Structures are given as structure tokens and as C-alpha cells.
Amino acid sequence: MTLREAQDQVDQWIKTYGVRYFHELTNMGILMEEVGELSRHMVRTYGEQSYKHVDDQAQSGESIRQEMADVLWVLICLANQTGVDLTQALQESMEKKTVRDRNRHQNNEKLRTSEED
């Protein structure tokens, strides 16, 4: 599925099942909530914090996948609402980063030393 197809599918779902899009500011708050939920699972899976319950830990990979999808869903809703073509926006971002960071990361000693550890 392309980003354009994803935007079209989310829009069709909203029109079919969702009645209407939530207000942009509501969706922005929902996006922050979903990012927080993703962060919680990432910190407990890859960071120093642990899950409180063994059952939660067993589901961590699935939870991360679901939370990433939830973040993407709300981001797509916001893109649709604000007229952003995510394919074009991502292409422009890649071009900008390529020009700006062409040598930046290769010359970063911090990145080289962590690779060797």
C-alpha cells in the first residue's frame, strides 16, 4: 500500500464508518496520546524500565506494532484534514535531509564509537 492509497483508505473509512473527522486539534491531542502509548512500550521493551505485569511484557512486540499503526492512522487523518500529500511531503523531506546531512552523520564520532561498542 502506498501512502496515497493509505490516505484514500482512511478517508473512505472516515466517510463510511466514522461519521466525520474529529477536529484537527482533537486529532492532534489524540496523536500525542498515541505517541505516548508507543513511547511507553518502547521504553519498557528497549529501555531500562520494565513492565509491571508479565502479561504486558509478553505482548510488547504486538503492542509496539499496534501503537505504531495508531500513530500512523491519526497522522494520516491530520494529513487528509489539512490537505497534505504525505508522499510529496516525505519526498521533499528526504531531499532536504540528503542535502543538509550528506556528510553530517558520517563525520559524527559519536555514531562511529557506538557502532564499535
Closest CA to 34 of 74, 63, 62: 74
Q: What is the pLDDT of residue 114?
A: 56
Higher pLDDT, 93 or 115: 93
Total-model pTM: 0.87
Which of the two residues, 116 and 3, has the higher pLDDT score?
Answer: 3
* Topology of the domain covering 3-84: Helix Hairpins (1.10.287)
pLDDT recorded at residue 97: 94
User: Could you state, in order of their start, the residue ranges of all structural domains in the chain?
Assistant: 3-84, 87-117
Query: pLDDT by residue (tens digit) across 44-78?
Result: 999 999 998 887 778 889 999 999 999 999 999 99
Number of residues written out for the chain? 117
